[in-house]
Amino acid sequence: MKNKSLQIRLIVMNFLEFAVWGAYLTCMSRYLASHGMGANIGWFYSIQGVVSLFMPALMGIVADRWMQAQKALSLCHLLAGLFMGAAGIYALTAPSVQFAPLFTLYTVSVAFFMPTIALTNSVAFNALVKAGMDTVKDFPPIRVFGTIGFIGAMWAVDLLHFQDTPWQFVISGGLSLILAVYSLTLPACEIKKVEGNVDLADALGLKAFALFKQKKMALFFIFSMLLGMCLQVTNSYANPFLGSFEAMQEYSSTFAVQHSNMLISISQICEALCILAIPFFLKRFGIKNVMLIAMFAWVFRFGFFGVGNPGSGLIFFILSCIVYGFAFDFFNISGALYVDQETSPEMRSSAQGLFMMMTNGVGATIGVLGAQAIVTKLVPSVNWSAYGVAQDEAGKYLWLEFWDKIKEIATPSEELLETLRQIAVKAGEVWAGWQEAWYIFAGFALVVSIAFWIFFPKTPANKDIEVKH
């Protein structure tokens, strides 16, 4: 009974931890795009990769030497929540939202949030070990509630119609403050008594750069970075892409447009399901082939977005979300396993840190900024509020009826008709730009996949492999 109570406490922690992230991660870009900051979307998403290069390691040192992990978790969430809430309040109250103050508040918040992912794991592992429980067996059922929390927050923001408002930041900040208080009630973690100075290079995983002397490992880390360039592209741009269809009469009221966050959440659901399939694939096909499946999955992830639409092409959006589970988790988990098998025990932790740095740090940052440049170049920048007068005059008829029926149900002025024509033309240009961008992303993933297939050494299937995650 005691263990059951502990499990529930850790489930609540994981649920809140990822709900904080899910409240804004997939829909922040839609808010930015709809408020004249579409050209800066890449900066908001890339900063997560930048702070992930050093903040988790620094807070890990603090938790190891000076502050209990649950207290460090509380402090980080307190600061993250205050600054994220401040970002939301600023955006809600400012007469004209400016990039610099919003980005600054957001960056500070993210800098303190990113270490909390590792800290929640530390708190959970410590509590389970103290209770005499098996972390391999008992942690995954607890961790899955983190994914449920992420999805739950996505749905809540969607159903409350906060996808294109700053309220998503306020909700995230509020959840973070709740977790800051709740963390203080969690089982205490012991502070490690480490003699001597902290080796920062080791903590950051920098010593693992020596592995680049090995051709096989150098290739692996280079391809990890290249694939990492794909990781945050759809988190950054899927929602504003779907939101752009709102300007097209035949798609404006569809589920994919009005509830884009719920549609995107299929990705997270499939991600959780695909984790369960990884042991089977690894045993049958080997690590290289599983990583190759992940790379080709990114081709389809982007390509399906390019050919789909919210109407008759909705199935392609759904398929894109389904393959996301293979694209994301198959490489992350099989890649981590490859590092574990190919490095010595004394280098293993640093090598895992380097793997995460190359994928979620360097790769993801370059990828998002590169995607920003492509989208900015190909997708016309449109301030749809400029057509506000026309929309007000047309009223409900503008978006609820097809173009050829407008004259039948209303008697718009010639000026209004011309404005409506401009909207239709501009919406078509935006869609065409998005399609070209998705095809470029898919082409990049295809080139990386083929290069990996050709140059990376084959790994045999391992029938005895045990996946621990």
- Domains plus CATH for the chain? 1-183 (1.20.1250.20), 205-469 (1.20.1250.20)
Taking alpha carbons only, the member of 171, 178, 129 closest to residue 154 is 171
Other beta carbons less than 10 A from residue 77's beta carbon: 29
Other beta carbons less than 10 A from residue 346's beta carbon: 8
Q: Each residue of 51-67: pLDDT tens digit? A: 877 777 676 667 667 77
pLDDT of 86 > 90? The answer is yes
pLDDT of amino acid 139: 73
Taking alpha carbons only, the member of 91, 119, 121 closest to residue 104 is 91
pLDDT of 77 > 80? The answer is yes
Q: Each residue of 122-147: pLDDT tens digit? A: 788 788 878 787 766 777 788 788 88
Q: Each residue of 365-377: pLDDT tens digit? A: 999 999 999 988 8
Taking alpha carbons only, the member of 412, 373, 376, 367 closest to residue 391 is 412
What's the CA gap between 465 and 446, in Å, rounded?
29
Characterize 104-143 residue by residue with b for buried, 16 or more Cβ atoms within 10 angstroms of its Cβ, and e for exposed.
Answer: ebbbbbbbbbbbbebbbbbbbbbbbeeeebebeebbeebb
pLDDT of amino acid 383: 47
If pLDDT is split at 50, 70 and 90, which confidence band does 414 have? Answer: low
Name residues whose C-beta falls within 8 Å of residue 446's C-beta, 6 or more positions apart in sequence.
Answer: 296, 299
pLDDT of 249 > 80? The answer is no
Mean pLDDT of 241-259: 82
pLDDT of amino acid 387: 41
Question: Counting Cβ atoms within 10 Å, is residue 397 exposed (0-12), middle (13-18) or buried (19+)?
Answer: middle
Residue in the structure block whose two tokens are 């360097």: 362
Mean pLDDT of 427-455: 90
pLDDT of 401 > 50? The answer is no
What's the CA gap between 436 and 429, in Å, rounded?
11
Query: Under a CB-based contact definition with an 8 Å cutoff, are residues 311 and 251 in contact?
Result: yes
Name residues whose C-beta falls within 8 Å of residue 169's C-beta, 6 or more positions apart in sequence.
Answer: 23, 24, 28, 84, 85, 87, 88, 91, 106
pLDDT of amino acid 168: 95
Other beta carbons less than 10 A from residue 201's beta carbon: 12
pLDDT of amino acid 388: 41
Tell me 462's DSSP state: -
pLDDT of 279 > 60? The answer is yes
Q: Each residue of 317-361: pLDDT tens digit? A: 999 999 998 888 788 778 877 887 788 776 766 677 778 788 888
Most trustworthy range by pLDDT among 72-76, 174-178, 273-277 = 174-178
pLDDT of amino acid 12: 92
pLDDT of amino acid 447: 96
Taking alpha carbons only, the member of 338, 38, 356 closest to residue 217 is 338
If pLDDT is split at 50, 70 and 90, which confidence band does 291 have? Answer: confident
pLDDT of amino acid 468: 47
pLDDT of amino acid 430: 79
pLDDT of amino acid 60: 65
Mean pLDDT of the chain: 81
